[in-house]
Structure 1
Amino acid sequence: MRQTFSRRSALALAGGSALAALGGLPAQGHVRSEDWSALASDVRAEFKWAWDHYVARAWGKDEINPVSGTSQSFFIEGHDLGLSLVEALDTLWLMELDAEFQAGVDWVKTSLDFDVDAFAQTFETNIRLVGGLLSAHLASGDPVLLAKAKDLADRLMKAFEASPHGLPYRYVNLRTGAVRDPETNLAEIGTYAAEFGVLGQLTGDERYYAAAKRAMKHALDRRSDLGLMAANIHAETGEFTSRNASVDVYADSFYEYLWDSWELFGDAEMKGWAEECLGAISRQQGRRYDLRLWYPMVDYETGAVAGTSQTVLGGYLSGLMAQAGRVEEADLFLTSYAELQDAFTVIPESIDVRTRRPRGVRTGLRPEFADACLHLWLMTDDDRYRALTATHYRNMKATSKAAYGYTALADITTRPMTQGDNCPGYWWSEQMKYYWLMFAQPRRVDFDRLVLSTEANVLRGFVRT
């Protein structure tokens, strides 16, 4: 049985009555009865079904196209790095699909080679491949997986070393260390501390975490008097290149990794920065539109609203706020997204917060709502969040299941919704893991110790059975 966090009861008591008054989600007693074990079994069966199609039609490829049964590269056109396979490993292990996990590990050990004379996106390569290899190593103890993660991280370090400010360039050549694209953003300079810090712990090399933290501190030192940072920054000049403060596009995981550095490594300085940033976001960006809470972009120096869009990516902020103890605000923000789920079945990729209407019709099989629900559930033990996630799962199954797996959608406004033809690599690591963790009583994770990366790689909390 799952153990509850010691802080949960106090948080629940602090937030319960206030949430009703502020317009949050219904009280726990309104949650319908659910057979969570049966739902967990269904999630596992669907994951296994999709994995079998990946094995049959896209083995070792970056991503499967589930409608046509073809595949596509993600990092380097025409050269695959097994993205979906690596992303799936720790989910397979958590679901006790051990033969499938071992087959994936065997492929990594025999076929995955990062000595490629081509440019890869530094940020994506870290969160997806370094993180995936580390979590698979933590699950299995296989030293080859750790060696692969270190080899790749060493290649990515060249992107940090080339900048006079330690801000990683967006792209690095995996063989030569050449870099390009210095015009970058908070997410792409600030989403390394979790993976690099764990790698440093496992190898005894402090260089990785030091490089990651230095990049984050550079941006944090340039906060305005309002406590905000602009979303875009230049790796060579070290200066902001925009004025917009964002909680989602170009910035999201930067804030997550401040808090994760506290959870994983006890870095009190990072915790302080996380709390300061969340406080500034709450004071300066939080806006009510038709009584619902949103965090649109604002000018980082004046606080004036710079745009009225909010993307589905912003849902992560509810989970982060819950982790940092801001449960009431987290619940209110999640309620805004829950209403979109009710209205559109699949949460739009982006909306205008003034009208709550979609700004486009495509969506990328996004996991952020389930991510937020998981963290709120872990903090409060409130089954309202499981119920919202159950709806999220069933809606995905109804709209995105194709002949050979699950696909992004080309148009969420049609009935039935028009399917695209791509399963993003994060599907294997993120939402299916969130569903499993919430619906099952997983034997291989300790919820009291659990820390997930922005890509939902388990970086702490495995239990070997």
Structure 2
Amino acid sequence: MVKTSSLGTRSQRKPRQRGSIETGGGDAPKSCNVCRKQLCWLTSVGAVGIWSILLFSTWRELVQDGPKTSAEVQPSVIGTLQSRVITLERELSRAHEEIAERDRLLADLQQRVRGDARDSQLVPAVTPDQIAKAGALGVPEAPKSPPATSVPAPEPQLRGSTSCDFQQDVDYFLLAGKGKEEMVKANSNKAECCQLCVGKNRQVLGSCTVAVLSSPSDSPPSGCWIKAASSMTALKPNVKPGVTACFPPGHGALPVAPTAPPLDSRAVSEHDKSLALLISSATTQQMRANAVRDAIRHAWTCYKTYAWGNDELLPIAGKGRNRGFNMAVTMVDSLDTLWLAGLKDEFNDAKDWLAAHLHNKINAIGKTVSVFETTIRVLGGLLSAYDLSKESALLDLSVKLGQKILNVVTARGVTPYTFAGGRGGSSCPSLAESGTLQLEMRYLSHVSGDEIFAAKTMKFYETVQGFKSLDGLWPNCFERGRGKITLGADGDSFYEYLLKVWIQGGKRKEEDYLKGMYDKAVDGMEKHMVKKGADGLTYLGTATWDAHSVSYVPEMEHLTCFVPGWIALGAQQQADDVRQRRMKLADDIAYTCWQMYEKQPTGIAPERVKGEAMDLSKTNTKEYILRPEAAEGWWYMWELTQDPKYRDWGWKTLLAFEKWLWVPHGYASLRDVRQTSKTYLDRMESFFIAETLKYLLLLQADDHEMKLDRYVFNTEAHPLSILEFAPKP
């Protein structure tokens, strides 16, 4: 049944209380009434528009799907209407609350204006907080009272400073729902930016609480951002090199600007001493877990200090950059790691910033942005953070982004590489691109009440089964029926999600086909892609399939080190003989992944090993870009076997990170893991905090709650509750 509890009372708004305005002599100014009427009119038009779109889209779906029996149509229509009404109610409720808040603030401000005007016959001096709140909510400047004589009324005077004041290397962001901001000019300077702020306040009192001039390296460079806050306490300062905050005349007391932590040779010395102590001392599990938390804290603090709001940190240069996403990817990707590490203040800082800024960023997603990466990093990060914190602002962002992603998914469930429909490195729709949305979209349907997210993306499983496979394995370019088959790039997460989607849904009989696809894929992998090397190690390579034959390629990617966990997780559902054989295979591959680390002079693994040669003599890609897959596989193996060797491997890996990757501004990538000269690549991918450090923390922590009978992890290590335990809409 369609819910009507909210819609049924939508028109029963509490009447405005006019007494406070009338005591000042008469009704509110006509301009205020007009403003309010316009808002109500816009809300009504918006509601009509949404209902029109809803009815049209439902009709279109029915037409596209063809004729159905009445038994099929009725539940379909009702289910669609019911789920979308929930979304509509949420939007209307937000608009209703905004109008009510504007009414209240308008009444308070008008009462103050009229009372002060009677006493002085001058334009009143309004407090900075009232100015800010009026501007942030779009309340027009109070009209001047007519002068008692023919002498012109004096210009409005603001209390406080009479000139612009500046704070260097400090940015301000608005707490969610407590103001608004806009970028008014690129390639500006601090004097011009402050004058733009002053001009805004002359037009509408309180429309600029602070102007922020972005750094020359930001996008756009030296942009002037006008920010109107509901109060000074709604402004949150953050250290950001190269940024200048400009406070206009009348700002009152300035907020205390934070200072960046000192980073000099002493920081390096202190880190080296701490590392030496960890290496030489006997450690408890609590000490190990705390060491990982310290690594998370260092990586996050450096991101916040030098790259806040950017996609990622450049740890050598000590600054941020946007890699085309412009969605603060590291911030979103790190949310659940901060929560699990107990860094709740840091979590809340990030959550508040995202609630205030990410809506606009989602609206402006570029055409060349990867849909796959946006789904696993940004949508997955938002959903996991919501699952853990139950913060509704994160769900609102998830729904908005989910709708953006869903718009580019075809009726067959096929997803393009970019939002403009572009193709990736394989020049084709790949398995991973279309087969790595289902966990996120099913969870989003469950918590939002809108089934369309799950229904559209789950169709890909029907689509892919219509193409030819090799013993349960599809080529990365599945539509071609031939080519490269891998559990590395472009294929890995498709196979990963077959098992996890089945587990997420409660292992229901009607979804057993997913478990069947997974089992066939494991058998096909073992038959065509697993080989014993001359060194006795078990390698997981790739296969090339053409019309006549299948050939094995001895190239093991670091990406494939997730496979031990994938095999072991599924083996728990098998008969004893199959389970034991698969657990042995999982352990063998996990050990090979460990040897990829242990055999290198740095103790850190390369991007891949070619020709089954651990000395990398046949490998031309020897870099390490902070990848997580080995730690991921070891964590699953520890959880399912309780064998302490997996913890030891993870601990030794962390010590290698601290020795070779730690730098004063974060953690850097290595150009060549065979070289001990610390030749760095200036990049700290968002997945280092989101995945690598998270798995290392879970591997060492005894008290975590991420148990495999309650959670499934998406391919970016974002835990989502199994639907039985997930929040309800």
TM range (shorter): 0.7 to 0.9
Aligned pairs for 1:306-345 (under 5 A) are 306-325=552-571, 326-344=582-600, 345=603
Q: Structure 1's 330 and 33: CA in aligned 2 closer, same or farther, altered over 3 A?
A: farther
Secondary structure, aligned partner of 2:694: helix
**Aligned residue in 2 for 1:98:** 344
Q: Structure 1's 268 and 463: CA in aligned 2 closer, same or farther, altered over 3 A?
A: closer
Which structure carries more relative contact order (alpha carbon 8 Å, separation 6+)?
1
**Aligned residue in 2 for 1:167:** 414
Residues 214-259 of structure 1 deviation map (CA, whole Å, 9 limit, x = unaligned): 22332233243533211124xxxxx227511111121111111111
2:699 matched to 1:459? Answer: no
Aligned partner letter, 1:417: K
Residues 23-67 of structure 1 deviation map (CA, whole Å, 9 limit, x = unaligned): xxxxxxxxx975111011111112112211111111111000111
Rounded to whole Å, the distance in 2 between the matches of 1:222 and 1:41 is 49
> How far apart are 1:445 and its partner, in Å?
3.7
Residues 329-352 of structure 1 deviation map (CA, whole Å, 9 limit, x = unaligned): 000111112112111111110111
Q: 1:265 aligns with which of 505, 509, 520?
A: 505
Secondary structure, aligned partner of 1:71: strand
Aligned partner letter, 1:260: K
Aligned pairs for 1:342-381 (under 5 A) are 342-344=598-600, 345-356=603-614, 357=616, 358-381=619-642
Give unmatched runs, 5+ long, in structure 2: 1-280, 572-581
Rounded to whole Å, the distance in 2 between the matches of 1:343 and 1:154 is 46
**Aligned residue in 2 for 1:3:** none
Paired residues of 1:220 and 1:229 also in contact (CA < 8 A): no
Rounded to whole Å, the distance in 2 between the matches of 1:117 and 1:65 is 22
Rounded to whole Å, the distance in 2 between the matches of 1:336 and 1:303 is 28
Paired residues of 1:443 and 1:463 also in contact (CA < 8 A): no
Aligned partner letter, 2:288: L
**Large movers: runs of 4+ above 4 Å:** 461-464
2:366 matched to 1:118? Answer: yes
> How far apart are 1:444 and its partner, in Å?
4.7
Rounded to whole Å, the distance in 2 between the matches of 1:332 and 1:225 is 24
**Aligned residue in 2 for 1:240:** 480
Larger radius of gyration: 2
> How far apart are 1:85 and its partner, in Å?
0.5
> What is the TM-score of this pair, normalised by structure 1?
0.85
Paired residues of 1:407 and 1:422 also in contact (CA < 8 A): yes
Paired residues of 1:293 and 1:336 also in contact (CA < 8 A): yes
**Aligned residue in 2 for 1:158:** 407
Rounded to whole Å, the distance in 1 between the matches of 2:652 and 2:504 is 31
Moved more, 430-439 or 406-415: 406-415
Aligned pairs for 1:60-99 (under 5 A) are 60-76=309-325, 80-99=326-345
Aligned partner letter, 2:352: D
Rounded to whole Å, the distance in 1 between the matches of 2:294 and 2:467 is 48
Residues 383-424 of structure 1 deviation map (CA, whole Å, 9 limit, x = unaligned): 111111111211112111112111111222221331111100
Q: Structure 1's 248 and 225: CA in aligned 2 closer, same or farther, altered over 3 A?
A: closer
Secondary structure, aligned partner of 2:349: helix
**Aligned residue in 2 for 1:212:** 457
Rounded to whole Å, the distance in 1 between the matches of 2:532 and 2:629 is 21
Q: Structure 1's 438 and 183: CA in aligned 2 closer, same or farther, altered over 3 A?
A: same
Q: 1:428 aligns with which of 689, 711, 725?
A: 689
Paired residues of 1:338 and 1:388 also in contact (CA < 8 A): yes
Rounded to whole Å, the distance in 2 between the matches of 1:298 and 1:50 is 38
Residues 265-299 of structure 1 deviation map (CA, whole Å, 9 limit, x = unaligned): 13322122111111111122211221222222213
RMSD of the alignment, in Å?
2.1
Rounded to whole Å, the distance in 1 between the matches of 2:560 and 2:705 is 29
**Aligned residue in 2 for 1:188:** 433
Quote the sequence identity (%).
25
Rounded to whole Å, the distance in 2 between the matches of 1:45 and 1:117 is 34
2:473 matched to 1:228? Answer: yes
> How far apart are 1:306 and its partner, in Å?
4.7
Rounded to whole Å, the distance in 1 between the matches of 2:365 and 2:414 is 22
Rounded to whole Å, the distance in 1 between the matches of 2:726 and 2:699 is 16
Q: Structure 1's 299 and 105: CA in aligned 2 closer, same or farther, altered over 3 A?
A: same
Rounded to whole Å, the distance in 1 between the matches of 2:417 and 2:292 is 35
**Aligned residue in 1 for 2:677:** 416
Give unmatched runs, 5+ long, in structure 1: 1-31, 173-177, 234-238
Rounded to whole Å, the distance in 1 between the matches of 2:475 and 2:415 is 17
**Aligned residue in 2 for 1:140:** 389
**Aligned residue in 2 for 1:276:** 520
Rounded to whole Å, the distance in 1 between the matches of 2:705 and 2:364 is 35
Rounded to whole Å, the distance in 2 between the matches of 1:242 and 1:70 is 44
2:701 matched to 1:440? Answer: yes
Residues 91-111 of structure 1 deviation map (CA, whole Å, 9 limit, x = unaligned): 111111111111111011001
Paired residues of 1:224 and 1:300 also in contact (CA < 8 A): no
